[in-house]
Amino acid sequence: MDNVSELDLPEAFLDFLEANGLDPSIYVAGDCIPRYVRLKPGRAAYVEEIEAEIKCKLEKVGWLPGFYSLPPDIQIANTKAYKEGKIYGIDAASGAAVAALDISTGDHVLDLCAAPGAKLCMILDLLGDSGSVTGVDVARHRLAACRTMLQKYALGDKCRLFIADGTTFSLLPPRNHSYSKSYESAWEGKTDAFGEWTSRRPWKERKRLAKAKDGIASLPVAGSEYPELIFYGTHSGIVGLSKTELYKKMDGDEISTCGYDKILVDAECTHDGSVRHVQKFENWGWQTFQRRVLNAERTDSLTTLQLKLLRNGFQLLKIGGFLVYSTCSLTAAQNEDIVEQFLSENAFAELQEIESAKQWPCRSGGMAKTLRFDPLTSQTSGLFVAKFTKLAS
């Protein structure tokens, strides 16, 4: 605790930490926590080349396959491997949240707060040759960055991205529409079916969307109650699908069997566990931090949002599927309290032990089976993780 004074954190933040029972000394480790990168599968041979370029060793993270750590001051953005899409930066705690999903080949995965997309990329890497990933985010510019990432890392084939509100998003996975040649020929020439995705919408499509905005056509448009599809890959199950079918509402029984196998709710939060994020306010000004992070009204509306995201995500989970709820806040209000409230109102939700966590350098959360990563204990950014399954009714 003695070192805390060296941090020069504003009084109001120290009060915030105290009110939330958080030890400020975890922020002291901020400057020392390593940077983490993940190598795309099959790229381990590039380790030496990357080491030569950045003139330092990539340390394998023993508890998380594919992850390497670097000293915090080493930048990877200018390396050839980064520019060529062989490595990407992602904190090891974020990697753990994805690993907790136990992704298997063929899973249909929903990432309800997907942007900017580091976890989404890892999910796609783990998915193998079949299955699908649906990424949802309410922020258009952030999801556009996610689309750019998918293209850079050549990971978009099985993915579709929607700008939508994760508290109401209700599309099921494109389960019955896996890519096949017959679909490819089915959409050719059809105006009501999705063709191959292109960044440039054909003239006819733009005209139809313009009409739809005037309320003439019945197909979904941005800004309406419907989500807006801003990217889909050839193998995402969208090509050849009738546009109205994609936006069909499903009933509860259908969700039990046709819902998502795995769902990540990496909810919007105050980011107070992310030391690097907190440190940025040294430049941006602590007043901005006070407004954005400590503002009680914002925190209250965040907890309401987090609970709604968790509820809606769980609704879309199939029986026996797994949902991981994570935040990079370390306050109980945004984590254990949300989990407790959610469990109290949902008899079919059960917290799950995260088996692989036995090897992870994290602590148990304030509730059995939940986990907390923090810079001091884990040498990672702060993260809370809880895993649920859906029981049969």
CB of 208 to ligand SAM, least distance (A): 26
Positions in 91-120 near ligand SAM (CB under 6 A): 94, 113-119
Give CA–CA dist 228/147, Å, rounded.
13
- State which residue, 313 or 365, has the beta carbon closest to ligand SAM: 313
CB of 94 to ligand SAM, least distance (A): 6
- If we measure between CA atoms, which residue out of 12, 1, 2, 13 comes closest to residue 275? 13
Binding mask 124-163 for ligand SAM (x = CB under 6 A): ------------xxxx--x---------------------
- The number of residues that bind ligand SAM (CB under 6 A) is 19
Let me know if 56 is a catalytic residue. Answer: no
CB of 300 to ligand SAM, least distance (A): 15
Q: How many CB atoms lie within 10 A of CB 254?
A: 13
CB of 246 to ligand SAM, least distance (A): 19
- If we measure between CA atoms, which residue out of 64, 63, 62, 87 comes closest to residue 76? 87
CA angle 262, 266, 270 (to 5 degrees): 165
Q: Is 273 in the site for ligand SAM (CB under 6 A)?
A: no
Give CA–CA dist 387/376, Å, rounded.
23
- Tell me the one-letter amino acid at 312: N
Residue 251 is labelled as binding a ligand: no
CB burial readout 356-392, b (16+ within 10 A) else e: ebeebbbeebeeebbbbbbbbebbbbbbbbbbbbbee
Binding mask 291-320 for ligand SAM (x = CB under 6 A): --------------x---------------
- If we measure between CA atoms, which residue out of 143, 137, 234, 126 comes closest to residue 180? 234
Positions in 207-266 near ligand SAM (CB under 6 A): 266
Q: Are 387 and 313 in contact (CB under 8 A)?
A: no
Q: Which residues are annotated as a binding site for S-adenosyl-L-methionine?
A: 137, 165, 266
Task: Pick out the residues of the known binding site.
Answer: 137, 165, 266
- Name the residues that contact ligand SAM, by CB under 6 A: 94, 113-119, 136-139, 142, 165-167, 266, 268, 305
